[in-house]
Structure 1
Amino acid sequence: MALCPKQFAEQHALDGRHWQLLLHLRDTAARVDLLHPSVSRAVSARMPDTAELSLTLPTAPSAIRRPAPHHPHGPRRSLNHPTPASRIDERTYRVPPLRQPDGRFTNPVIPGFHPDPSVCRVGDDYYLACSSFEYFPGVPLFHSRDLVHWRQIGNVLDRPDQLRLPASMSSSGGIYAPTLRHHDDRFWLIVTNCSEGGGNLIVTATDPAGPWSDPVWAPGVPGIDPDLVWDEDGTCWCTVAGVSQVRIDPSTGQTYGTPHRLWSGGPGAKAPEAPHLYRIGDYWYLLIAEGGTERGHGVSIARGRTPQGPFEPCPANPILTHRGTDHPVQNTGHADLVQGPDGSWWMVLLGVRPGGGTPGWHVLGRETFLAPVTWVDDWPVVGEVALDLPALPWPLSPGPVEEHRDDFELAELRPSWISLRDRPAEHCTTKERPGWLTLRARSGSLDEPDVVFTGRRQQHLSCRARTLVDAAKGSGGLAVRLDERHHYAIEVSAARVRVVARVGSLRTVVAEQSVPAGPVALAVTTTEPPSPHGPCTGPDVVSLGVEQPDGTFTELATLDGRYLSTEVAGGFTGRVIGMYAAAGTVHFDWFDYEPLDG
């Protein structure tokens, strides 16, 4: 049972400062147990036994008529450089939070598989980068003027000479946890390539929309989750998970001295990582994540007089965690701090939205959320990570309306499109057949790490994706992918369509039927499971089928969505819905993604 702040303070013998923090927390309507370190950690959820999988719901193929598509002081790091003239053009992709009638907005502010957010402010503009793991291009980059409306303006690592992800690399390898900063009129991004021959690399740009430089490698920087910060005399420090630090010349990657340990969070804390250093007022603040990126995740902070420490931990650590709660947003952590347009402070962080019964499954991956931050006695107090954000006290900049449909009429794919490990033009192009996306196979199926697959992140709990496929010279189709061992697909080959499900070591053809010769419209829909809901109910159902020329949708299979969740598959990514080629050459005329939430 939840305790009021006074009961909680008496039970835990809290000192006056901590008591004041709790009072402030109460007044901001946040939860007491989100701040105190004595909150119990959630036990890791048991995975279901794949030997007892039940993939399909009891439905038969059916014809369904488809509806018509329809911070107390300002920081001393550079925040006020002129805004660069960005190459933001018609290819940008906006992520539109749902605005409520009272002016409130919906979290996450960047939905779908967009974890490990790092944000920087330059004048009136905000830029945010995320992890991308096994997908190419790497490190999606977003722009905003109000911290709520974000649009993707490019990908930092968008050339093969910047990013190599070999087929031998497992899923959830690749690009981990970037830090994005602005210093001396340049954008700096440091990130880890966790693949063979990888390591920590630094790229720079004068325009965040690109082009970004070739990578400068930093072999003297150990570990993952690197952070860059410059002190008052211009010395640059790189801090990594662990948490350790080394002096670095970011222009060359050269390090000086031996990495030294800074601070590793609370006693016995698991996985101290995602460090970020800031000069705010009279202190240097070291923000970290701890507890691992599962249900025990959290954010802690310490402060010192220099960027090398020593650091004094906040008495209210962790300053943010949802461990041991029934909050609809879980796994909260891996955060970064930024000031809003009015000088207020905010935190961007990752979190997940589990669904279904016990233990709860999240399918979209780790998403980017926004939370308010206030300051008490020079310590940050994080407000609630609410699914509904209050109306903001500054002007909003919604940006252009998002396009749900891509007709592949541009010479290059829009930045929201991602491919597995690479995207050579001979295997993926819009130039071979104008107005079509052409995929040329190089492996047999989605089970292979080098399958030719191009997709977009699933960003809504309920959605519909459709595409028109010409498989006259090959076979391929539409898939919902988590990794090589967890995906559902509907595939066209030789005037037949079939639904294939892969879950762990099991692969089965769930349904198939013949179709007329010529292009075929395929569709995948994710929706809430049918009633009644119980402790064993999954997070959603995935329906796959064919759309007839008259708009009739023939459903071939409805599958349980839990098997395409991180709780089942493991890893660090989320669902991607897209097109693939299993054999020969396959053409796709258009791709349509339609949110069905709300």
Structure 2
Amino acid sequence: MIKRNIFFLTAVLFLCFFEGTAQSTNLKKTQAKKTAVFSNVSYIGDDQVYNDNPLKSDEFYTPILQGCYPDPAITKKGEDYYMVCSSFAMFPGVPIFHSKDLVNWTDLGGILNNVAEFNPHNTGISEGVYAPGITYNPHNDTFYMIVTAFSGGLGNIIVKTIDPVKGWGSPIKLDFGGIDPSIFFDDNGKGYIVHNDAPDKGKELYEGHRVIKVWEYDLNTDKVIPGTDKIIVDGGVDLSKKPIWIEAPHLYKKNGKYYLMCAEGGTGDNHSEVIFISDTPKGPFKPSSNNPILTQRYFPNDRTNKVDWTGHADLIQGPNNKYYGVFLGIRPNNQNRVNTGRETFILPVNWSGDFPVFENGLIPMQPKLKMPTGVTNKTGKDGFFPNGNFTFTENFTSKKLDYRWIGLRGPRENFILQTKKGLEITPFEVNIKEVKPTSTLFYRQQHNIFSFTATVDYKPESEKDLAGIVCLQNERSNYVFGITKKGNDTFILLERTEKGQSKIIASAKIKITNSLRLQVKAKGDRYEFSYAANGVDFENLGGAVSGDILSTNIAGGFTGALIGLYATAVNDAHPE
């Protein structure tokens, strides 16, 4: 009896193993047919402003970070500078850069890179995490990054490290509301947090009326001290003029005085930077008589090489003890649209008087600056982040994928595999219009005039399968340019989604015998999508289309346009 039971059990286990192996093999085959392999990617930026303004040996370009890298904050330890930016629902969260001279920057990736601790999986692209602050505390040799996270109920959080290159600790939730926090450490080691908040209940005077609050911070418990909060700015520089959106505060100390610098006017046409002074970190703070200290709002819209929306700044003492300020700004295209998003600029700062002033920050900004004495411009070389016009190529053969490639609402590693043939994307059952993690590897649009070309090896099995390129402003505003199936035929199509409503611009039946080359080119507001079946001769699909839906000021939100290598297993774009 026992032998019979053992025989029966062995047979059952064998059948289960055989069936499981067969299912596993079939699953692998199914996945193999549906995956898309991308290779030979090329991004070429060719903005006229850089062609018209070549660099001399002692010059560098501003912005220093092109594309969607807004809300910069900066700190230093010795000769090492670290700068962070907003990332919203992009993943990993809070990109961080390192420099020795404020000119040449190295991309260190994202600080919030553990999806178990920061998970923007169900947030709109302009939510997630934004407006970080970063501060080095010499009293305990520790870096602090503080930020507002709109996902997972996190709210305002802080993370710490001894070495930003080696990674950061887990988020610590802070017990206060509002947004745009930053942390300051006084000469005696005492900590303070300042942030934007709503006025006290019942005291809001108009739409956009905000306040700046300060809290004392306990370094031993990493918490704000209850009852220490105080409003130190109400409304802005002059409450009688109804200033809007006082935000992005930073505290500094110089010559025994405390300075509070904030953005004012909202992150748009009226954006500016203003500054206040006090004898104590908790005020009262008096505004400078020459505010704003940085803005571009006073100048004609048709000015050459227009830079606008400047503000949301942070100050640092740079090489040779010269002060500099990093801040966000935009470079609109020929239709005054903001497809590259809010970028990180830099200007020298004159702090010879009582108050700092951004040098040439109150006249129309120019595209290039004099380098700090003794610095050599290595941007785009030796691993340093490029700016100006440049070409970025990617074959996905290096062991470490470039940090410029990002995920949306989740880690890129969840859907990519680097192979000898290129980057393999296993599609999620999610399309680009859903507020979920998508199987799309994104690159920021960094120029108003650019081309982005990729080779894709892909054969869809059904109309639910699609792979190709997506140009995305948000989940409700995007272009999809990809390969799919209709009946027994393979098609390439171009779909435009505006305000959540999708329309097929054009489609064409194609026969895929080898890999296909896909390309998107933009010249200002004019975007063109093309494909090459033989890898060389490109055919346009759909003519020239408007990039309006890829602009911040048309589609809304806070991000710049992203270009993605996209695959989905629930395609809803069907050829006509």
In 2, are the aligned partners of 1:408 and 1:430 still within 8 Å (CA)? no
**CA offset at residue 563 of structure 1?**
2.1
Task: Give the letter for the 1:527 counterpart.
Answer: K
Paired residue total = 476
Identify the residue that residue 295 of structure 2 maps to in structure 1: 321
One-letter amino acid of the counterpart of residue 287, structure 2: P
Equivalence for 1:400 = 382
Structure 1 unaligned regions, length at least 5: 1-67, 71-95, 529-539, 586-598
Q: Which runs of 5+ in 2 are unaligned?
A: 1-41, 45-49, 197-210, 572-576
Question: In 1, are the aligned partners of 2:43 and 2:450 still within 8 Å (CA)?
Answer: no
User: Which residue of 2 is the match for residue 273 of structure 1?
Assistant: 247
* Corresponding residue to 2:313 among 330, 335, 338: 335
Q: Any idea what the Cα deviations from partners look like across 1:192-227, whole Å, max 9, x if unmatched?
A: 102241211111122212321111111x22211111
State the alpha-carbon separation in 2 of the partners of residues 104 and 478 from structure 1: 36
Measure how far apart 1:445 and its partner are: 2.4
Kept in 2, the 8 Å contact 1:216–1:251? The answer is no
Report what 1:150 is aligned to: 105
Instruction: State the secondary structure of the residue aligned to 2:548.
Output: helix
Note the C-alpha offset of 1:550.
5.0
CA distance in 1, matches of 2:528, 2:412: 31
Equivalent residues of 1:116, 1:178 under 8 A apart = yes
Residue deviations 1:246-278 (CA, integer Å, cap 9, x gap): 112256432213321012421221011000001
TM superposition shift of 1:69: 9.1
Amino acid at match of 2:162: T
Q: Does 1:254 align with 2:242?
A: no
Any idea what the Cα deviations from partners look like across 1:307-354, whole Å, max 9, x if unmatched?
Answer: 111212100111111123235111110000011211111110000112
Q: Is 1:447 matched with 2:425?
A: no
Matching residue of 2:203: none
Contact kept, 8 Å, 2:311 with 2:329, in 1: the verdict is yes
What is the distance in 2 between the residues matched to 1:232 and 1:354?
42
Q: Which shows bigger deviation, 391-400 or 189-198?
A: 391-400
Aligned to 1:175: 129
- 1:203 to 1:550, Cα distance in 2 relative to 1, 3 A: closer
Q: Deviations over 1:480-509 (max 9, x none)?
A: 111011111211123321111111143111
Match of 2:167 in 1: 211
Q: List per-residue Cα deviations over 1:399-437 (Å, max 9, x = no partner).
A: 516671222224553211111100264x41225x44432
Instruction: Return the alpha-carbon distance in structure 1 between the equivalents of residues 280 and 247 of structure 2.
Output: 20
Contact 2:492 2:507 in 1 (8 A): yes
**Residues 281-300 of structure 1 mapped to structure 2, 5 A cutoff:** 281-300=255-274
Partners of 1:411 and 1:452 in 2: CA distance: 20
Go from structure 1 to structure 2 and tell me whether the alpha carbon gap of 1:443 and 1:246 turns closer, same or farther (over 3 Å shift): same
- Secondary structure at the aligned position of 1:262 is classed as strand
Partner of 2:328: 350
Q: What is the alpha-carbon distance in structure 2 between the residues aligned to residue 107 and residue 412 of structure 1?
A: 28
Does residue 507 of structure 2 align to residue 509 of structure 1? no
SS in 2 for 1:449: coil
* Residue 369 (structure 1) aligned with residue 356 (structure 2): no
Q: Is the 8 A contact 1:479 1:579 kept in 2?
A: yes
TM-score, normalised relative to structure 2:
0.78
Amino acid in the other structure paired with 1:312: K
Cα distance in 1 for partners of 2:502, 2:331 equals 28
Map residues 33-112 of structure 1 onto 2, 5 A cutoff: 100-101=55-56, 103-112=58-67
Q: Residue type matched to 1:491 in 2?
A: G
1:482 to 469, 473, 480: 473
**Conserved? CA contact 2:431–2:570, under 8 Å:** no
* C-alpha RMSD over aligned residues: 2.3
In the alignment, structure 1 residue 137 sits paired with structure 2 residue 92: yes
User: Separation in 2 of the partners of 1:69 and 1:404?
Assistant: 5
Do residues 468 (structure 1) and 470 (structure 2) align?
A: no
TM-score, with length taken from structure 1: 0.76
**1:435–1:303 CA distance, 2 compared to 1 (3 A):** farther
Confirm or deny: 8 A CA contact 2:90 2:125 kept in the other structure. no
In the alignment, is residue 383 of structure 1 matched against residue 359 of structure 2? yes
Change (3 A) 1:489 1:407: same
User: Which of the two has higher C-alpha Rg?
Assistant: 2
1:481/1:564 contact within 8 Å kept: yes
SS at match of 1:226: strand
> Partners of 2:568 and 2:79 in 1: how far apart?
46
How far does residue 102 in structure 1 lie from its aligned partner after superposition? 5.6
